Every structure is written in C-alpha cells, then in structure tokens.
C-alpha cells in the first residue's frame, strides 16, 4: 500500500545525479553538495535570523510554484515523447570509441533529466504544503517563535533548492538537445 506513494527512489535517483561523470566514489560531488545544500542552508538561516519573511507574498509564491509544478508535469511528458527520438539518434551513432562514450552520456542524461524533473515535481508539492503550513495559526505558547522560524527556514531552503533544481534541469535539457541537434 505505501509503495504506491513511496518517493524514496525518486529522491535517491536525483541525489545520484549530483555526481560528476568521471567520479570514482559513490558520494555527492563536494561542489554540488555546497551549491545545493550548504549555501541554501546558510542563506536560509541568515534570512530567518534577520527576520525576513515572505508572508506578504505567500499567495504569489504558492501560485508560481503551482504553475511551475504544472509545467514540470508537461515537461516530463515532452521528455517521454522525445526519448524515442533521442534513442534513435543515439543508435545512429557509429561504434567508434568516441561515439560509444557519447551514447553513454546521452543515455545517462536522459535518465538524469527524468530523475531531476520527477524530484522537482515532488519538491514543488512539498514546497506548496510547507508554504501553506505557514498560514496555520499556532496558539501562543513558549516556543511559538522558534517553531515559526523553523518553518520559515524550511520554506526558504525548499524555495532555493527548487530554483536550483529547475536551473539544473534547464541546463541539462539545453545540453542534451544541443548535442542531439549537432
């Protein structure tokens, strides 16, 4: 029953894409770890501690994340429809060593783009739910401010992660289709 909504594999596959192509170890590339986790965490913590909030723009944020999430579903459908064309183009490449490497890279890119788009869709769902959680009116008690700051930090982090993931998807699709068009 829980397997129908299990997103662990999508998250795991997305994290696998944060490795360089010629990396021998199985961990996330240190540059990608800094870019996708450490820098957004520092920025989120700074904005939270400086008491910047986005409450006034909450409706706009939810609307824009919803629209982008919908576009990601469409992009996933477009990628699925183009997979066969890309695979046919890959098949047309000869069997020289250079072409074998190019085939491997294109096939890896297709799989990674699929993982990245799926992760971004899940991230948009969690981000919308997280943004909506800010609107919950918490009764006054001792730790109310701390809990509010934690939710604001999480939202800032998720927004940055979503933006960076979108930029990565755009870059990978650009590279894939540019190589396919050559």
Packing angle between helix 144-181 and helix 97-133, nearest 10 degrees? Answer: 150
Residue numbers of the domain that contains 123? 2-181
Domain count, the chain: 1
* Per-residue pLDDT tens listing for the chain (182 residues): 688 889 999 999 999 898 876 666 677 888 899 999 999 999 999 999 999 989 899 999 999 999 999 999 999 988 888 777 776 766 666 666 666 667 677 777 888 899 999 999 999 999 999 999 988 888 888 888 899 999 999 999 999 999 999 999 999 888 877 876 66
pLDDT in tens, 145-178: 899 999 999 999 999 999 999 999 999 888 877 8
SS3 27: coil
């Amino acid at each position: 029953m829980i397997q129908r909504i299990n997103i662990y594999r999508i998250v795991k596959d997305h994290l696998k894409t944060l490795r360089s192509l010629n990396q021998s170890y199985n961990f996330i590339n240190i540059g990608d770890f800094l870019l996708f986790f450490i820098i957004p965490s520092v920025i989120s913590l700074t904005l939270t501690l400086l008491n910047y909030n986005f409450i006034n723009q909450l409706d706009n944020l939810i609307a824009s994340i919803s629209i982008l999430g919908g576009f990601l579903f469409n992009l996933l459908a477009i990628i699925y429809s183009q997979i066969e064309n890309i695979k046919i183009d890959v098949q047309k490449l000869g069997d020289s060593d250079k072409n074998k490497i190019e085939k491997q890279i294109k096939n890896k890119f297709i799989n990674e783009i699929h993982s990245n788009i799926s992760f971004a869709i899940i991230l948009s769902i969690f981000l919308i739910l997280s943004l909506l959680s800010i609107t919950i009116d918490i009764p006054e008690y001792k730790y109310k401010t701390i809990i509010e700051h934690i939710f604001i930090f999480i939202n800032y982090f998720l927004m940055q992660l979503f933006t960076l993931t979108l930029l990565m998807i755009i870059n990978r699709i650009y590279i894939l289709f540019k190589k396919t068009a050559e």
